[in-house]
Amino acid sequence: MDLEKLCTQVIEISHQVGEFILEQKNKISAQNIEIKGKNDFVTFVDKTSEQKLVAALSKILPESGFIAEENTSDKKGEVYNWIIDPLDGTTNFIHGLAPFAISIALIENQEIVLGVVHELNLNETFFAWKGSKAYLNRREVQVSKTETVADSLIATGFPYYDYKRLNQFMESMKFFMNNSRGLRRLGSAATDLVYVACGRFDAFYEYSLKPWDVAAGAFIVQQAGGKISDFDKGQNWLYGQEIIAANSNSFSELQDVISKIMND
């Protein structure tokens, strides 16, 4: 399979669906918003965008299946499956805030081999495929070279329904407030991850995440020279609902801190 060619096609699809999302940005009203759970929202834009992605991705790889946030397809591929979030940052989108993004990853058996994250507000497309570098709008990007947590700008995401580890999470934020250059919370995990990939953030961590939140962005971080793990220093970050991402210089220090606090 020509993954570079396939990635180019996926980028084009993300742009087409992104145009639809932006066209709908000022058409959202309270009547268009469904509540899936506590602080967990979905709109007709999410659902229609996912339908468009599923249809277009099925055309370029007919044998593929889907792991998709809004469950618009239950098809499972024997070898290839797309992991897609049609609108990562729905709450931001509803309130007219940036960022929000389309996230698309392709897994071959159990290995991610392609990732595209299209952040709509800045019209920035981050992408990579197996064996490639990481790119932002066709320009190669790399993770930062920051060597210590003390010199790091760290992104995270606040839990909005799963509060079982809230005390530990608050302790982690307290630590980083006192021992780093600062914390940021943008509201889109896919965007946070690709910002690590291009060096805008030095690190990102969060819990209570789904595969479609992290698959593409984490893969792009790895292709950009970064490292990924779960809070137990293992590799169950795709389905384990927790992730640490950072450049290779500061990763071990950051991992030690998060592992100790979040597993206390």
User: For the domain that residue 238 is a member of, what is the CATH number?
Assistant: 3.40.190.80
- What is residue 35's predicted lDDT score, i.e. its pLDDT? 58
Asked whether residue 69 falls in the same domain as residue 132, the answer is yes
Asked whether residue 135 falls in the same domain as residue 159, the answer is no
What's the whole-number average pLDDT of the chain? 94
- What is residue 14's predicted lDDT score, i.e. its pLDDT? 98
Asked whether residue 112 falls in the same domain as residue 184, the answer is no
Mean pLDDT of 2-22: 98
Asked whether residue 11 falls in the same domain as residue 124, the answer is yes
Q: State the alpha helices, DSSP H only, in the chain.
A: 3-23, 44-60, 90-94, 166-179, 189-197, 211-223, 251-262
pLDDT tens digits along 146-196: 999 999 999 999 988 889 999 999 999 999 999 999 999 999 999 999 999
Which of 86, 117, 141 terminates a domain? The answer is 141
The Cα–Cα gap between 231 and 221 comes to: 17
The DSSP element (H or E) to which 40 belongs, if any, is strand 40-43
Percentage of the chain lying above the pLDDT 70 cut: 94
Asked whether residue 96 falls in the same domain as residue 153, the answer is no
- What is residue 33's predicted lDDT score, i.e. its pLDDT? 62
Asked whether residue 134 falls in the same domain as residue 153, the answer is no
34 pLDDT exceeds 90?
no
For residue 94 the two structure tokens come to 């509803």
Contacts 24+ apart (CB under 8 A), 63-69: 64/106, 67/211, 67/212, 68/212, 69/210, 69/212
Which of 141, 174, 200 terminates a domain? The answer is 141
51 pLDDT exceeds 90?
yes
* Higher local confidence (pLDDT), 37 or 52: 52
Supply the range of the domain harboring residue 204: 149-262
Asked whether residue 115 falls in the same domain as residue 197, the answer is no
Asked whether residue 170 falls in the same domain as residue 47, the answer is no
Helix axes of 251-262 and 166-179: crossing angle, nearest 10 degrees: 140
pLDDT tens digits along 210-222: 999 999 999 999 9
Please state the pTM of the whole predicted model: 0.95
30 pLDDT exceeds 60?
no
- What is residue 69's predicted lDDT score, i.e. its pLDDT? 83
Asked whether residue 225 falls in the same domain as residue 249, the answer is yes
Confidence of residue 39 (pLDDT cuts 50, 70, 90): very low
Percentage of the chain lying above the pLDDT 90 cut: 84
Ramachandran region of residue 253, left (φ > 0), alpha (ψ -120 to 50) or beta?
A: alpha
pLDDT tens digits along 118-159: 999 999 999 999 999 999 999 999 999 999 999 999 999 998
Question: CA angle 245-249-252, nearest 5°?
Answer: 60
Confidence of residue 114 (pLDDT cuts 50, 70, 90): very high
Which of 114, 141, 168 terminates a domain? The answer is 141
- What is residue 181's predicted lDDT score, i.e. its pLDDT? 98
Q: Looking at the 3D structure of the chain, how many domains does it have? A: 2
Asked whether residue 158 falls in the same domain as residue 120, the answer is no
